């Protein structure tokens, strides 16, 4: 914990700077142009738009480009001003934006998938275009030759993607709730391992190359932090959403994970805190506190003439307990539970007020967010939504 008197960078409440409206359908993805008063967006309405802030203070399109099919995903590389757009048809189209962001020229097209491209990533260091698709595949192309380098079939629709440049590992999330880790070579790949921990589909992935941590968000409302750099196989669950987790991003300079949920909630997680893994749930045929039998334990029920009880688990110690012995509720932020969860009486006594201090802040974006992007150059957060709106938020940290 931070020592008293030591200045602590804290994120301010997100302050709404601008609303960008005009898209005719869901804005599937958008990004702030670094160091510019501009935003690039792709929408279900088949358009790619570049919005530049005018003297009036409003954002107006400087580029408005219609595509033959809905635009489902995008990746923008500021150094080369290269924009890769994934389409509902399965194609990935590449464009180059002019220096003043008033013009966009078509460069290349890749027939990457059979249907909707769920995520596209352009990696300048390798000149690779990586993509995942609803056709249950992950593919990568050479952006110089346009040639397909390889394909990996996933067991379910591939929904999201991250890449570690240093070790050339790709992380592919899918609808089955699994994350597959692939080691990519120039034209082949091998499965390193799979992460299984979610009970719903993977909706978002975020990679922190500095701490070597992977974050996965799921429709099961949870986020799992997979500590790869720690090399101990630690996986920590973060519970802070009441609905599907839709999108994740990471603010490196403040070490904060930002997650958005289908309920419009933005949660800012302080990742400077050391969290503990949740315990495995213990199995028992009777309450591990009062010894009352659970309902399937007919023998003990008969022998002791007792009624069988339902089994519950304490989230802190993992013990199997009856309802009476686990009637207390507490948040356990250091185990990732920002909401109150079931704990046993013993654990309830051991949790101090200090332990209950939240390690995340909660904000209402007031729209159904489908994608979130953080621009480190300005400390801006961008949310785009089902309501066809893009919102820009100031997240500049304040030192308190
Ligand atoms: Zn009991
Ligand atoms: Zn307990």
Instruction: Give the model confidence (pLDDT) of 33-55 as tens digits.
Output: 998 899 999 999 999 999 999 99
Confidence (pTM): 0.89
β-sheet with 369-375: strand ranges across:
15-20, 390-394, 380-385, 369-375
**257 plus 384 within the same structural domain:** yes
- Predicted confidence at residue 395, as pLDDT, reads 86
Boundaries of domain holding 330: 278-356
| CATH number of the domain enclosing 293 | 3.30.40.10
* pLDDT at 91 > cutoff 50: yes
Is 359 in contact with 333 (CB distance < 8 Å)? yes
**218 plus 333 within the same structural domain:** no
Q: How far is the CA of 147 from the centre of ligand 2 (A)?
A: 56
**201 plus 316 within the same structural domain:** no
| CATH number of the domain enclosing 189 | 2.130.10.10
Q: In this structure, which ligand is nearest to the CA of 282? A: 2
- Predicted confidence at residue 400, as pLDDT, reads 47
β-sheet with 169-174: strand ranges across:
158-164, 169-174, 178-184, 189-196
**Between 229 and 143, residue with greater pLDDT:** 143
Is 300 in contact with 292 (CB distance < 8 Å)? no
Q: In this structure, which ligand is nearest to the CA of 350? A: 2
| Domain presence at residue 263 | yes
What is the number of residues in the chain? Answer: 400
* pLDDT at 3 > cutoff 70: no
Overall number of domains in the chain: 2
Average pLDDT across the chain, whole number: 91
| Domain presence at residue 2 | no
Q: How far is the CA of 399 from the centre of ligand 2 (A)?
A: 37
Residues with CB under 5 A from ligand 2 (ion): 314, 316-317, 344, 347
Residue 385 CB neighbours (<10 A) = 24
Q: In this structure, which ligand is nearest to the CA of 347? A: 2
Closest to 133 (Cα-Cα) out of 146, 147, 121: 121
């Amino acid at each position: 914990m931070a020592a008293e008197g030591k200045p602590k960078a804290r994120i301010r409440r997100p302050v709404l700077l601008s609303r960008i409206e005009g898209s005719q359908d869901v804005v599937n993805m958008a990004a702030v142009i670094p160091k510019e008063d501009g935003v690039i967006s792709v929408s279900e309405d088949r358009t790619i738009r570049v919005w530049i802030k005018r003297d009036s203070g409003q954002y107006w399109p400087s580029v408005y480009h219609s595509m033959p099919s809905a635009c489902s995903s995008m990746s923008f590389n500021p150094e080369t001003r290269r924009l890769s757009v994934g389409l509902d048809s399965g194609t990935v189209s590449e464009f180059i934006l002019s220096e003043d962001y008033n013009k966009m020229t078509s460069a290349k097209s890749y027939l990457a998938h059979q249907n909707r491209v769920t995520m596209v990533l352009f990696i300048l260091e390798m000149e690779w275009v990586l993509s995942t698709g609803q056709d249950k595949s992950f593919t990568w192309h050479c952006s110089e030759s346009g040639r397909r380098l390889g394909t990996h079939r996933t067991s379910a629709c591939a929904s999201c993607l991250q890449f570690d440049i240093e070790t050339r590992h790709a992380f592919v999330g899918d609808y089955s709730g699994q994350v597959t880790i692939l080691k990519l070579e120039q034209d082949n790949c091998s499965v390193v391992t799979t992460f299984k921990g979610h009970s719903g589909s993977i909706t978002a992935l975020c990679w922190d190359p500095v701490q070597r941590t992977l974050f996965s968000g799921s429709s099961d409302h949870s986020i799992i932090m997979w500590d790869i750099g720690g090399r101990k196989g630690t996986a920590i669950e973060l519970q802070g959403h009441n609905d599907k987790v839709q999108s994740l991003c990471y603010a490196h300079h403040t070490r904060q994970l930002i997650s958005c949920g289908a309920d419009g909630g933005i949660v800012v997680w302080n990742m400077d805190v050391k969290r503990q893994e949740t315990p495995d749930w213990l199995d028992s045929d009777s309450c591990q506190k009062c010894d009352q039998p659970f309902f399937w334990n007919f023998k003990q029920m008969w022998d002791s003439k007792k009624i069988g009880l339902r089994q519950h688990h304490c989230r802190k110690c993992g013990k199997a307990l009856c309802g009476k012995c686990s009637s207390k509720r507490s948040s356990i932020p250091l185990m990732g539970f920002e909401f109150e969860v079931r704990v046993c009486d013993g654990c309830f006594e051991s949790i101090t007020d200090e332990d209950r201090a939240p390690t995340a802040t909660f904000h209402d974006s007031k729209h159904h967010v489908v994608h979130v992007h953080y621009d480190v150059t300005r400390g801006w957060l961008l949310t785009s939504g089902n309501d066809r709106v893009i919102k820009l938020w100031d997240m500049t940290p304040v030192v308190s």
